[in-house]
Amino acid sequence: MRLAEIAFKSIPARLASLLLQLAEEQGRQAASDMRHTEHAAQGSNTITGLTHQNLGEQIGTYRETTTQTLNLFQERRPDRHWPEKDHHPRRRRPARVADHT
């Protein structure tokens, strides 16, 4: 990861960039290892061989922050509702109470 990315990108942006880069690299490796198979043509969405600690070190943050950010990504899956901009992984918003008037 370049110094400019660490200095100017947010942690989620740095982690997302790293995950995309790793997925691409590992996908290329899998394709070369498994030539002429359907799996190789489709690529893989799984990144293997790295811990949250390893990922955190590569983006210049703590393991705990990496884990929280990955959990945030999981919460923000496309099939789920996106939280408001002020969402923070450590701070949960109180549940909304329905108005029954």
Could you give the percent of the chain with pLDDT greater than 70?
A: 63
pLDDT for the residue numbered 2: 74
Is 70 exceeded by the pLDDT of residue 55? Answer: yes
How distant, in Å, are the alpha carbons of 58, 78, 81 from that of 43? 23, 20, 27
Signed CA dihedral, 81, 71, 5, 48: sign only: negative
Q: Tell me whether residue 15 is exposed, middle or buried, using C-beta atoms within 10 angstroms of its C-beta: 0 to 12, 13 to 18, 19 or more.
A: buried
What are the tokens at 1?
């990861």
pLDDT for the residue numbered 76: 85
What are the tokens at 3?
């110094």
Question: Using 50, 70 and 90 to split pLDDT, how confident is the model at 30?
Answer: confident
Give the domain ranges of the chain. 3-75
Mind listing the pLDDT tens digit for each residue in 11-23?
999 999 999 999 9
pLDDT for the residue numbered 101: 47
